[in-house]
Structure 1
Amino acid sequence: MAPTTHTVLGGAVFLFSALAGAKDSGAPNFYHHSPPAYPAPIGTGNGLPEWSEAYSKAQAIVAQMTLAEKVNLTSGTGWESEQCVGNTGSVPRLGIRGLCLQDSPLGVRAGLYSSAFPAGVTIASTWDDGLAYRRGYAMGAEHRGKGVDVQLGPVSGPLGLFPEGGRNWEGAGSDPYLSGIGLAAAVRGIQDAGVIACAKHYIANEQEHWRQRGENPDVPIEEALSSNVDDRAMHEVFAWPFADAVRAGVGSIMCSYNQINNSYGCQNSELLNGILKNELGFQGFVLSDWQAQHAGVATALAGLDMAMPGDQVFLSHNAYWGSNLTVAVLNGSVPIWRLDDMATRIMASFYKVGRDKTQVPVNLDAWTTDVYGYQHWFAKENYGIINGNVDVRGAHGALIREIAAKGTVILKNNGSLPLGRPRQIAVFGSDATDNPKGPNGCEDRGCADGTVAMGWGSGTANFPYLISPLTALQNKAYQDNTVIQWVVDDYAIDSMHNVAKQADTCLVFVKSQAGEGYLTVDGNRGDRNNLTLWSNGEQVIKTVAGNCSNTIVTVHAPGPVLMEEWIDHPNITAVLFAGLPGQESGNSIVDVLYGFIEPGRLPFTIAKSASDYGVKLMYEPDNLYAPQQNLTNALMIDYRHFDKNNIEPRFEFGFGLSYSNWTYKSITVRKTSAGPYTPFVGRTPAAKNTNVTESPSSLLFPPGFHKVAAYIYPFLSSTSQAGLSGDGEHGPADAYDPSGTPTRPAGGAPGGNPQLYDVLWQVNVTVANTGKRNGEEVVQLYVSQGEQDDPVRVLRGFRRVSVDAGQWTSVIFDITRRDVARWDVVSQNWVVSSAKKKVYVGRSSRDLPLVADLD
């Protein structure tokens, strides 16, 4: 194989040269090491109705493939090699085209005539898994219509441990349970639409700073940041949502850039082989984040199934896999059964979602919006139509508007909302208006000019249009015969002073922004530098409130912002958190301001000061070898930390005001007859094919084959490349064991031991709408597990219900064994302790009027 920089030492991955010279280089004495987990479990779909047919088809077609064809399916063809952001090689002999992998988790990235959906933080704020499914289905349908095979989303990593985290907005809230429900719903929606979903980023990928070497050339680090996580937090916090995605049948999972316990995410055998494929029973394929692969043999043995985008570094034209994987199989460095499993997992996911039935030609291009261009962008070959400009939007605008409105949270309302027909309104702040460069005028939305409706980075999509708040309010003012004025220059303080004095109602729009670490906006390198407002926001609010007795503030932001400077101002009568709402931004905020739609609830805590969160994002590396980020507070993420330390938040997790009034009337608990929990006993499947029968000469480039420049191929240039004289780079002996390995006691099925999902109790609560208008309430259930080192309470159920004025409804929650279990690091299994447990039901994590014992 081509030289690789890493190999496997136990379960951790290190540089040989760095280890040898650790004393001289100043490399730290690592104390967090990920344990080894080998061999890689083989997927079969046996006994799983949702997978069995797909695996039968996959096994049959992979059995017909040559070694080179299998490699082609697992290896990316290189950055800018074809039309999608990621492309695999094809198997034309069997009618399999190269797979198209395309961002993003909120719509089709690049191209035209597709939708810009609300961000993950906004769908999380709806607390509505039905809407999450509909959003997933709509996004999947749009990707399907563009010819995409794998949608690179949804997101549950980062979870939002650090409120300043640059990509928190892509995820589904800062609680594992809430995030897991949202992740699973999105997976089902995307895949029901006929596209493979990709849950990402696995795992503990909580900040942008130092996530990969080379991203900040001013401060060069040798290796990426290591997120050091204890076993309990790994299972109860970070892996929890991915278990829900696996149980929902997700076809692919993306491993992350960062190291976890000093082993890169894409070659961490414990996380991929051990937890994901063994314990959680994942049957799909693992693909690398773009340039997150750091070795060839080590990644294959550790459980990586697909290398993206294929080249080691963008446009380096060198690959860890491609022909090097072919060589590794020939010389025994990677067993043939491991390659067979890679290809089978990919094809099983392909068949599971019906890609053989729904696949259409790729009609988008990741590198240009021009209709005509080069199919092989970097090589400048195959000129023709590359953007077919197929309109895939359908009627999704109405869904986007509904989600964005129901995901807006009313934090304060002294009676000024909903608006009636004010005689005169005034609108303030650049967040109310359009970006002068246009909605797509900044690369991957990497700016904060005009209204903010999504974060920046690879998780974005092109806006087909963007309705600004000012535009929507002008339209509403026209309908109502309301006078409307505005000042959208954030620094025109004198003008704001004068206009604010004239209006009956003053609407202030302020913002904050964040995104992915490859872009820096206003000095923020992905992660936010702080939790304050951007664009003079605090001053805009105070200026308007000082001159207008009915000031209503709307915040567009990727996560929490600090509000203490202005939240208690007597002239501020209402405050709304509107997240990142997508293309229907203005229309959705009008729907909430005027009371046409019931608002949502917070998916995170808003603190009084940044220090109240009890965590610190690492802005400067603690060493230049591999920064060490010890996530010691991870089990107490977000509201759990506030509750455990009795810290008063400004607005707690789950908080949100309604346009109606609600009374929680009664609670009953019924214990079920579920049987006991038993550790699973069994083995992962044994390999069937252990011998390589092809010769190096059969794997040469075919005669007359045209090589596209810089394209990654599986073929050998010469028989000498095979290097059959040696064994090549090898991992530990057990990585080559074809007989499989014992299934972990917490495993046994997708999502973990099936008995984890036994229902132990049913909780029935009665909720009444005691207001004068029909409304929607988000009923939340929390469980106290009773042990001293547990969180005070954890979310374990929620339901968004519609109830007419004066009526009541019953809501029934199932509490499963998993809901009351804790991870035991000694037995390596879930246990339900004998500690007394309680269930709490109410409107937020701190407004829980109904309490009952769990017997």
Structure 2
Amino acid sequence: MTWDKDAVTAQARAVAREFYQKGVQVLSGPTSQPLGRTAWGGRAGETFGADPFLNGIVTAETIKAYTEEGVVSQAKHFLLNEQETNRTNNNIAGYDSMSESEKRNFLGPYSSNADDKTLHELYLWPFYDAVKSGLGSVMCAMNQVNGTNSCENYSLLMEYLKDEMGFPGLVYPDVSAQHAGLASVAGGLDYGSSTYWSESAITAMVNNQLLSVQRLNDMAIRNTICWNMWLVDNGKQPATVGQTDYVDVRANHSRLIRENGVKSIVLLKNTRGALPLQKPRIMGVFGANAGAAMAGPNYAYNPITGSGPTYDGHLATGTGSGQASFPLLVTPLAALTFRALQDGTMLRWILNDTYTSTETSALGAGTGVVPGYVNYAQDSDVCLVFINALAGEGADRTELYNENQDTMIKTVADSCNNTIVNVTAVLYSSLLGQESGNSILDVLYGEMNPSARLTYTIAKNESDYNVRVCDTAECDFTEGVYIDYRYFDAYNVTPRYEFGYGLSYTNFSYTDLNISSIEALSVYPSGKKSVGGPEDLWDVIANVTVSVRNTGGKAGAEIPQLYMSYPESAEQPVRQLRGFERVQLARKQKSTVTFPIRRRDVTFWDVEAQKWAVKGGEYTFSAGASSRDLRLSHTVTIRTE
């Protein structure tokens, strides 16, 4: 959510440093896919958003940071791994004896079927950035692509990744994603399971001329490139420690986590300046998400009530194989308690989404308020309602809203004068890590000014989204490149909050949009094939500048965004993101922001020529605060030769 390249780099370096100091040289990340084809996707919280440009830039910054810390990156999941449903195969014990309903639970792996244009312009795009930035390895996905398992898919691994993109590293399978020996060798897998690739099996493949020595050497070289480039065998790396061994590698990362948490909170609504808070007299806090989980922050379920679509405690991380154990978790209630102590605020709370009470008394009944949503809300100057949705690896979401939480919000909102959810102000905090409560507190009280932006579109209704989770073995990506804001723009669907949206406690104005002259371009790139594709694909062909001024009464950061519209003949979405920067501005301060435009940014995929092509014609560049809050536009003509 941050859209802050420096924050991304700082966090990635800290993560890599912790891995390195524990003796781990390969980091299974970054995750650029799932991209965000469907709002119901279970692993959307692991990735960098539904726009390939944004996703690619953040992926590249992350990889460069990992490399600087001496850790090998592993981009995933390659490719079209857009849902969790049916991701596994049915080659399991007892499958044939199962009932049809039982078998249905193991249908898979599903095949993501997409055309060549969609593959290149949407899903392959971030991997170009990854390869160009020095990617060490790629994780091929569990799913099939166009009918072939990802880890034995020649088109994906050999043609697109290694040839077209010039990727020099190794391809590694996701868990249980390798299904065969010879097929995966031929398809482009470089590191595999000894179940399929025993010494005798590899020898037999070579002796029977099924595996060429050239391909075998290629596999070996790709496996050793990481050792040579990252010097992981130079004897200077810390020893690898056991998974549960205690080695304190945290340094001062708690401060970074808190700062980046603040930069990741999106202010969605702030009617009549409800935020920041000004020492409220009595505050009511509602919802399980405000407090600690019964079994602590490292459990994905309540030992009494079990798990569900919401989490019975403060949610600050996702679930699945990438989840780390918190050393501690600062909940919103914990942070608010210390602030209330400083301000003299009376604090009441109900840490439950479905609280009901038939009690007629409470501790201190002679002077107290009987516990309940209505009673506490009516007696509060400010009401804070905290809600969440639990999602992660292994399953997709079953709902986009929760009736219990909606009822709680409405009950509190109907009774409180200043509810900071769904009435006067809304904050979207996502998964902020161990300092989550402190980060939220900093924004609530105006210690820090929110500056994050949405990395996907929030619709008004479930029916406004055009893609649901596929529940069949064949998942056809018939929407093409039209996901998220591309779909909303193309079909004139009004969102609740658009891609790139986010408010601040101050205001910003935009002036002086300028574009440098663009020389005539060849239709196709002609540069030498290199890491990341043709060298001239990455040439900067122009610079777009815009001035941003803080016109409000507080210091704050703005995220100016640049969108581009192609000529109609290029048959592209209405607009596409082509630049963003975070700029910190004092009151009344003005700054000029520069967006470099690469040749790649004005191309489309020519299916017939199998090349990135430039279409001559008029291109419109628009700058603003979101994909639908565009303040300035300028049209230029690009000539081709």
**What TM-score does the superposition give when structure 2 sets the normalisation length?**
0.91
Whole-Å separation in 2 of the counterparts to 1:594 and 1:222: 49
From 440, 443, 461, the equivalent of 1:589 is 440
SS at 1:402 equivalent: helix
From 742, 748, 755, the equivalent of 2:536 is 755
Amino acid at match of 2:407: Q
Residues 511 and 533 in structure 1, CA contact (< 8 A), matched pair in contact too: no
Whole-Å separation in 2 of the counterparts to 1:644 and 1:675: 28
Whole-Å separation in 2 of the counterparts to 1:646 and 1:449: 38
Q: How many residues align?
A: 605
SS at 1:763 equivalent: strand
Residues 824 and 831 in structure 1, CA contact (< 8 A), matched pair in contact too: yes
Map residues 332-731 of structure 1 onto 2, 5 A cutoff.
332-357=209-234, 358-365=236-243, 369=244, 387=245, 389-414=246-271, 415-442=273-300, 448-493=311-356, 495-517=372-394, 526-533=395-402, 536-553=404-421, 567=422, 572-599=423-450, 600-618=452-470, 620-621=471-472, 627-673=473-519, 676=522, 678-680=524-526
Whole-Å separation in 2 of the counterparts to 1:499 and 1:296: 64
Residues 672 and 762 in structure 1, CA contact (< 8 A), matched pair in contact too: no
Shift of 1:173: 0.6
Shift of 1:439: 1.1
Q: Which residue of 1 aligns with 2:67?
A: 191
From 245, 248, 251, the equivalent of 2:133 is 248
Match status 1:840 vs 2:622: yes
Shift of 1:158: 0.1
Whole-Å separation in 2 of the counterparts to 1:776 and 1:351: 41
Whole-Å separation in 2 of the counterparts to 1:281 and 1:446: 44
Match status 1:306 vs 2:194: no
Shift of 1:200: 0.3
Map residues 271-286 of structure 1 onto 2, 5 A cutoff.
271-286=156-171
Whole-Å separation in 2 of the counterparts to 1:402 and 1:446: 30
Residues 154 and 186 in structure 1, CA contact (< 8 A), matched pair in contact too: yes
Amino acid at match of 2:530: A
Residues 424 and 483 in structure 1, CA contact (< 8 A), matched pair in contact too: yes
Residues 493 and 543 in structure 1, CA contact (< 8 A), matched pair in contact too: no
Match status 1:797 vs 2:567: no
SS at 2:416 equivalent: coil
Shift of 1:326: 3.5
Whole-Å separation in 2 of the counterparts to 1:355 and 1:283: 17
Amino acid at match of 1:299: S
Over 3 Å counting, the alpha-carbon distance change for 1:500 and 1:218 in structure 2 is: farther
Amino acid at match of 1:362: T
Shift of 1:634: 3.5
Whole-Å separation in 1 of the counterparts to 2:325 and 2:402: 25
Whole-Å separation in 1 of the counterparts to 2:356 and 2:507: 38
Residues 672 and 759 in structure 1, CA contact (< 8 A), matched pair in contact too: no
Residues 40 and 468 in structure 2, CA contact (< 8 A), matched pair in contact too: no
Q: Which residue of 2 aligns with 1:523?
A: none
Shift of 1:588: 0.7
Whole-Å separation in 2 of the counterparts to 1:164 and 1:601: 20
Residues 674 and 759 in structure 1, CA contact (< 8 A), matched pair in contact too: no
Map residues 281-300 of structure 1 onto 2, 5 A cutoff.
281-300=166-185
Q: Which residue of 2 aligns with 1:372?
A: none
Shift of 1:597: 2.1
Over 3 Å counting, the alpha-carbon distance change for 1:220 and 1:549 in structure 2 is: closer
Over 3 Å counting, the alpha-carbon distance change for 1:402 and 1:824 in structure 2 is: same
Over 3 Å counting, the alpha-carbon distance change for 1:680 and 1:277 in structure 2 is: farther
Whole-Å separation in 2 of the counterparts to 1:765 and 1:354: 43
Whole-Å separation in 2 of the counterparts to 1:438 and 1:218: 35
Whole-Å separation in 2 of the counterparts to 1:815 and 1:183: 18
Q: Which residue of 1 aligns with 2:97?
A: none
SS at 1:338 equivalent: helix
Per-residue CA deviations over 1:416-460 (Å, capped at 9, x if unaligned) read 111121111111000001110111134899762201111211121
Whole-Å separation in 2 of the counterparts to 1:443 and 1:542: 26
Over 3 Å counting, the alpha-carbon distance change for 1:410 and 1:787 in structure 2 is: same
Q: Which residue of 2 aligns with 1:521?
A: none
Per-residue CA deviations over 1:106-154 (Å, capped at 9, x if unaligned) read xxxxxxxxxxxxxxxxxxx100111111111111111111111211011
Q: Which residue of 2 aligns with 1:210?
A: 86
Over 3 Å counting, the alpha-carbon distance change for 1:485 and 1:644 in structure 2 is: same
Per-residue CA deviations over 1:681-739 (Å, capped at 9, x if unaligned) read 8xxxxxxxxxxxxxxxxxxxxxxxxxxxxxxxxxxxxxxxxxxxxxxxxxxxxxxxxxx
Shift of 1:835: 3.4
Q: Which residue of 2 aligns with 1:319?
A: 196
Per-residue CA deviations over 1:253-302 (Å, capped at 9, x if unaligned) read 10001000001110110110000000000011110001100111111111
SS at 2:104 equivalent: coil
Shift of 1:575: 0.3
Q: Which residue of 2 aligns with 1:264?
A: 149
Whole-Å separation in 2 of the counterparts to 1:398 and 1:603: 24
- CA RMSD across the alignment: 1.9
Amino acid at match of 1:584: E
Whole-Å separation in 1 of the counterparts to 2:603 and 2:210: 41
Shift of 1:540: 1.1
Over 3 Å counting, the alpha-carbon distance change for 1:163 and 1:223 in structure 2 is: closer
Residues 677 and 755 in structure 1, CA contact (< 8 A), matched pair in contact too: no
Whole-Å separation in 2 of the counterparts to 1:637 and 1:354: 41
Shift of 1:515: 1.0
Amino acid at match of 1:225: Y
Over 3 Å counting, the alpha-carbon distance change for 1:221 and 1:854 in structure 2 is: same
Whole-Å separation in 1 of the counterparts to 2:278 and 2:493: 38
SS at 1:827 equivalent: coil
Match status 1:809 vs 2:602: no
Residues 140 and 172 in structure 2, CA contact (< 8 A), matched pair in contact too: yes
Q: Which residue of 2 aligns with 1:145?
A: 21
Whole-Å separation in 2 of the counterparts to 1:270 and 1:304: 12
Per-residue CA deviations over 1:366-402 (Å, capped at 9, x if unaligned) read xxx3xxxxxxxxxxxxxxxxx2x11111111111111
Shift of 1:679: 4.5
Shift of 1:674: 7.3
Shift of 1:218: 4.1
Amino acid at match of 1:438: G
Residues 524 and 614 in structure 2, CA contact (< 8 A), matched pair in contact too: no
Whole-Å separation in 2 of the counterparts to 1:161 and 1:221: 22
Residues 453 and 581 in structure 1, CA contact (< 8 A), matched pair in contact too: yes
Whole-Å separation in 2 of the counterparts to 1:812 and 1:675: 22
Shift of 1:319: 3.4
Residues 180 and 245 in structure 1, CA contact (< 8 A), matched pair in contact too: yes
Q: Which residue of 1 aligns with 2:605?
A: 823
Unaligned segments of structure 2, at least 5 residues: 93-100, 358-371
**What TM-score does the superposition give when structure 1 sets the normalisation length?**
0.69
Over 3 Å counting, the alpha-carbon distance change for 1:245 and 1:601 in structure 2 is: same
Whole-Å separation in 1 of the counterparts to 2:318 and 2:159: 34
SS at 2:424 equivalent: strand
Shift of 1:509: 0.1
